[in-house]
């Protein structure tokens, strides 16, 4: 069944206990991205670990060994390496798994971008009038 989204949607991140974040549904972006700070890869006795704070929340320090990195073209047209994680996102009352890049989006208008790969995989349509 096709779900229709507007250009902007309020979403939740259940894995992080974060609710009511305004996201831009961006069919021009291939992948999704969300605002994080303190993003760093750390060597531990058990191997590499990724540390980050979603939405610059000082009380939320996430540590994971389940991540990848790859190069992406930023909105400014520059190529940069970014870390990607798989997490749950709640959109329109339903939880979905998604892969998002971590980026410091402090200077960006929207803290979260949901890209066309996710939209296509989950059979979403975007109504620009909604």
Domain ranges of the chain: 3-126
- Find residue 100's DSSP bridge partners: 32, 85
Contact yes or no for 126/27 (Cβ under 8 A): yes
pLDDT surpassing 80 at residue 38: yes
pLDDT surpassing 80 at residue 76: no
pTM score: 0.89
CA 63 – CA 54 distance, rounded (Å)? 11
3-126 maps to CATH 2.40.70.10 = yes
Per-residue pLDDT, 105: 93
Backbone angles phi, psi at 109, to 5 degrees: -70, -35
In angstroms, how far apart are the furthest CA atoms of the chain?
A: 52
36-48 average pLDDT score: 94
47 Cβ contact list (under 8 Å, min separation 6)? 65
Per-residue pLDDT, 65: 95
Per-residue pLDDT, 73: 81
Calculate the average pLDDT of the chain: 93
């Amino acid at each position: 069944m096709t779900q229709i989204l507007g250009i902007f949607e309020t979403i939740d991140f259940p894995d992080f206990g974060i609710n009511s974040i305004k996201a831009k549904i961006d069919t021009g972006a291939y992948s999704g991205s969300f605002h994080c700070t303190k993003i760093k890869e750390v060597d531990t006795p058990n191997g590499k670990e990724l540390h980050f704070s979603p939405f610059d929340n000082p009380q939320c320090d996430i540590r994971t060994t389940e991540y990848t990195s790859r190069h992406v073209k930023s909105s400014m047209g520059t190529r940069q390496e970014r870390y990607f994680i798989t997490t749950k996102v709640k959109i329109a009352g339903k939880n979905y798994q998604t892969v998002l890049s971590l980026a410091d989006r402090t200077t960006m208008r929207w803290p979260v971008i949901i890209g066309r790969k996710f939209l296509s995989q989950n059979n979403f349509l975007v109504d620009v009038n909604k």
